[in-house]
Amino acid sequence: MNNTLNNNRDEDEPTRSRRMLPWLLILVVVVIGGAFIWASNRTGKDSSPVAASQSSNAQQSPASQDETKQALATLQQAVNDLKSARQHDADQIADLQRQLSSEEGERKLLSDQVNALSGRVDGLEKARAEVRPPTNRHRRR
């Protein structure tokens, strides 16, 4: 029974991590995007966010454009890395499923062999009981 619980826990773990990966990806994208927006909108305390955004878009310097391109490239690389990690995890899960299937077949074979041996032992015990001569309870002196 304890073995069954461990197997179920092991089988649920890849599923749980597979469900968490898209949420992790979204969280990373939101954090990076939020940091990018926060950094690009910091023009001064006196100007409004809308005016600051419009003025920064209208008058972006080449250095600012390079920073934007670099941030986008970094973000794209992070997304690609997450996709690669997700594919790697999916491949590992498929390998584990194949291993589990193989081990299940081996367990069934072993179980069948144990049952066959048990039947043979039972048959031998019955034959031995039938062959054994009755014992005399009264001994002659």
* HEC string for 107-138: HHHHHHHHHHHHHHHHHHHHHHHHHCCCCCCC
pTM: 0.39
pLDDT tens column, 72-98: 999 999 999 999 999 999 999 999 999
- pLDDT confidence bin for 46, thresholds 50/70/90: very low
Distance CA 90, CA 96 (A): 10
Structure tokens at 120: 């043979």
